[in-house]
Amino acid sequence: MSSRAELTFITNAIKESTSMYNGNYSEHLRNYGVL
């Protein structure tokens, strides 16, 4: 999986589950190394 595909997948997941993550998504992004 390319980094672009991963970024797209993560971004879509965040947009669809923003209320679910409720701010914790930034920690998930850090785990993926995006931030």
Range of the domain at 14: 3-32
Task: Give the total residue count for the chain.
Answer: 35
- What is the structure's pLDDT at 4? 93
Where b means 16+ CB within 10 Å and e means fewer, 13-22 reads eeeeeeeeee
Give me the number of domains the chain comprises: 1
pTM of the model: 0.40
pLDDT along the chain (35 residues), means of 10: 85 72 66 65
- What is the structure's pLDDT at 11? 86
- What is the structure's pLDDT at 30? 74
